[in-house]
Structure formats: structure tokens, C-alpha cells
Amino acid sequence: MTDISSMASDVAVIGGGPAGLMAAEVLSRAGLAVHLFDAMPSVGRKFLLAGKGGMNLTHAEPLPAFVARYGTQAERLRPMLDTFGPQAVRDWAAGLGIDTFVGSSQRVFPTDMKAAPLLRAWLHRLRHPEGSGVPVSFHMRHRWMGWRGDALTFETPQGVSQVRARATVLALGGVSWSRLGSDGAWVPKLQAEGIDVAPLQPSNCGFDVDGGWSPFFQERFAGQPFKSVAVRATDSLGHTFGRKGEFVATATGVEGSLIYAVSALLRDEIARHGKATFELDLLPDRSAARVLADVAHPRGSRSLSSHLKSRLGLDGIRMAIVNERLDKATLHDPVRLAAAIKALPITLVAARPIDEAISTAGGVRWESLDEGLMVKRRPGLFIAGEMLDWEAPTGGYLLTACLASGVAAAHGTRRWLASQPSAFRSSV
């Protein structure tokens, strides 16, 4: 066994995603010796991948509306977001030399739209802090295996190592995109300690449609987007959703931003009843009366497809799904056809596997933690990021809450350490 207890520190942060890095930054800035451990060869791997299509940092809507996006856990997250919310994220990025702008959708991006420059600047500041800050020590390829007595145990290329720390912040992520490091291996470790963990579930995920698509639709339209459509859904508990946007047809069903936004409602309804249905409005900018009038307009010798394209601009994947989901009788009944164009039922039977999801729901239950995010059953252990039991839609909400929880866990750690006798202190 390789014993690295000589590197014992004030705080061990385990997990090199946004929550862990932010916790490390706040603690090191406070003059605490921080060692950060991650199983992967480098930190921020999911952060970098998520930023490939444009690094969405946060959202510029008013804070009350922003907080409401966290659904049933909004009140749990409110104090963290009051401390480190959307504007604080922008200020933090500016402090790293990264200017931001607000897009047309109110999403906030770096001016160059890239994640890598921000991460590089962040890591440089963690390694070379200004003022009284203590440099963060990074330990890659250190897979956390749990505890051996009071010591943290890691599997490393050099063998099994033990580390002692006055406090520990766990920020190991959920269980989506496991190839980037978030594999959920922490769940049984915490449960073995008597820590209550809500089951991890896919969030911001795609779904499989009932019966699948026809071979024709699958071959011709899988991967194509439904643009400028609207989705409405009501579950068996009376919860409703309605929004305009876009999503994508997949080989087995649907995914994309509009589906992600309603994914929690659909996922939970499937869990209750084995299926969930949403209504697809193919022409949300036209009234039902206008659609009926155009459908019922005499079409002469034109085919139905030509008629609907001419009168309604309905073609491509939108026309294809009409043919895919409606029987011949409905297609030739103007009243029923017009109603379906405005509210085409799409029934889903399963969420896609959790490893395909953008994020996860579930995690360490709030009742297991104190207000500083410390585990009640294990004093000195703090939880941050997606390990906590919350979920949020895409649009900057996920990253903002991860950063805010990292700040909150760091503040909780500082307060707890201040109340404890200093058994040792690293001389990093």
C-alpha cells in the first residue's frame, strides 16, 4: 500500500467537475490547503464536452423565475442561488477574463462560445492564486474507493493510497455520460454508511415511442428536427406543461431541447402508469379555426400532401409524422385531421438509458444533510453538485446550481472547520 498521508490536507475535494472545482476555489481562497482528486486523467471533461455546441453558462431571466426552474427542489436551492446566482456566475467568468453575452433566448454564453479557455483560466487561477490564497494540489487518476477507518482510500496507477483530511467535499456527479467519469459508483459507498440516497434517474433525456417508428419514418427522418412546434402535456396528477420550441426524431423516439424541458413530467408519468402522452402542435402560430378552414378548403385534384403543403406549409418531417400516426379515415376527415395537426398524440413508453441522459435526478436526500450540506451521519463530509437530489432543465440552470452548491459546500466546510480543533494542517 502506498501511504500518502504525509500529504494530508485541510480539505480533500473528490471530483473535478464544476462543483468540485468551485468548492476548491472558495476554500483555497480562504487560506485552506486543498487537495483535489479525480479518477480521470484531467478535470472538467463533461464540462468541456457540454461546451462543444456553445458553452451555456447560465440564464438571464429574473431570479424568481430562474429559481422556479428547479421545480420541487426550488426552495432547497434558493439560498444557494441567492448567494451565487446567474449574475455571480457572469461576474466569476469576468474575473477569469471571460466576457459573456446574453443570447436571443436569454441564455448566457462566453463571447467566444467556448468552454476550454474558461477552464484553462480557472485551473491556472487554482494553481496560482492571488493574495493569500493557497494553491490547489491536483491528483489525477485517483479513483475514490471509500473509507478505511477515518482515511480516504484511492485506487491509483501506483497502487492503493490513503489520504487523511480534516474535511471532505464529495462532488462526483450523477451517472450520465459515465465515460467522462460520472459513473455513480459512489451510491453504494454512501448507502453502506447509512446515508439516504434517492434513486438516480435520467433527466433531460430522450424517450422511446410506443410501437416504435415505421421502417420508412426511421430511415428517412431519424435525426431530423421538428422546428417551430409546440408540446403540451398533462400528467395524471394534474401537472401541466406547454411550450414552443424544437426537438429531434431519433431511431427509437424523440429527444432534444423541447423534450428535455418536459422530461421530468414524462419520466414520472411512465413510472406511474407505464406510458405517457404529449400532444404535438405542428402549427402553433395558427389557430385551430384557421387550420380547420385550410384543411377543409377544396383541394380539387391535388393530393392531400400537396394540399396541406400549399395551404399550411406542412411538409417534410411534419407531414411525415401526420402520415405516420394517423389512420386513413382520420386523414380524410377534415375535422379530425385539423384537430390532429394541432394536437397530435405521441405516446412514450420508456426513457432512454440513463447513461445517454444529459443529467440525472435523484441523489443524496436533503434530509440527510444540514444547512451547510454536511452529512449528518458523518460530520466533516460535505456533498455538492449532481450528487444532491435535484434536477433542472438545460439552459444554464444545471451549471449554475452545480457552481452554487460548490460555493455552499465550501462555506459549510469553512464554518465546520472553524468549530473543530486542528488535528493537523498541511504545509502545501
CATH code assigned at 6: 3.50.50.60
Q: What is the pLDDT of residue 7?
A: 60
Given 295, 326, 351, the domain boundary residue is 351
424 lies in some domain: no
Is a pLDDT exceeding 90 seen at residue 328? yes
Residues 257 and 347 occupy one common structural domain: yes
* pLDDT-wise least confident of 4-8, 130-134, 288-292: 4-8
pLDDT bin (cut points 50, 70, 90) of residue 427 is: very low
Strands 159-163 and 2-3: parallel
Is a pLDDT exceeding 70 seen at residue 372? yes
Q: What is the pLDDT of residue 403?
A: 98
Residues 44 and 168 occupy one common structural domain: yes
Q: What is the pLDDT of residue 4?
A: 46
324 lies in some domain: yes
Residues 305 and 392 occupy one common structural domain: no
83 lies in some domain: yes
Is a pLDDT exceeding 60 seen at residue 401? yes
Q: What is the pLDDT of residue 422?
A: 65
Is a pLDDT exceeding 70 seen at residue 428? no
Residues 222 and 184 occupy one common structural domain: no
pLDDT, averaged across the chain: 94
Tell me which residue range forms the domain holding 278: 207-351
Residues 50 and 86 occupy one common structural domain: yes
Residues 19 and 75 occupy one common structural domain: yes
Residues 197 and 233 occupy one common structural domain: no
Mean pLDDT value of segment 293-299:
94
Per-residue model confidence as pLDDT tens digits over 252-266: 999 999 999 999 999
Is a pLDDT exceeding 70 seen at residue 175? yes
* pTM metric for this prediction: 0.91
User: Which among 414, 411, 406 has a CA at the least distance from the CA of 14?
Assistant: 406
User: Which among 40, 9, 41 has a CA at the least distance from the CA of 27?
Assistant: 9
Share of the chain above pLDDT 70, in %: 96
Q: What is the pLDDT of residue 51?
A: 74
Q: What is the pLDDT of residue 343?
A: 98
Per-residue model confidence as pLDDT tens digits over 87-126: 999 999 999 999 999 998 999 999 999 999 999 999 999 9
Residues 256 and 275 occupy one common structural domain: yes
Residues 240 and 364 occupy one common structural domain: no
423 lies in some domain: no
Share of the chain above pLDDT 90, in %: 89
Given 305, 320, 351, the domain boundary residue is 351
428 lies in some domain: no
427 lies in some domain: no
pLDDT bin (cut points 50, 70, 90) of residue 423 is: low
188 lies in some domain: yes
Given 306, 326, 351, the domain boundary residue is 351
213 lies in some domain: yes
Mean pLDDT value of segment 119-138:
94
Residues 297 and 221 occupy one common structural domain: yes
Residues 142 and 74 occupy one common structural domain: yes
Counting the structural domains of the chain, the total is 2
* pLDDT-wise least confident of 39-48, 109-118, 361-370, 415-424: 415-424
Residues 15 and 57 occupy one common structural domain: yes
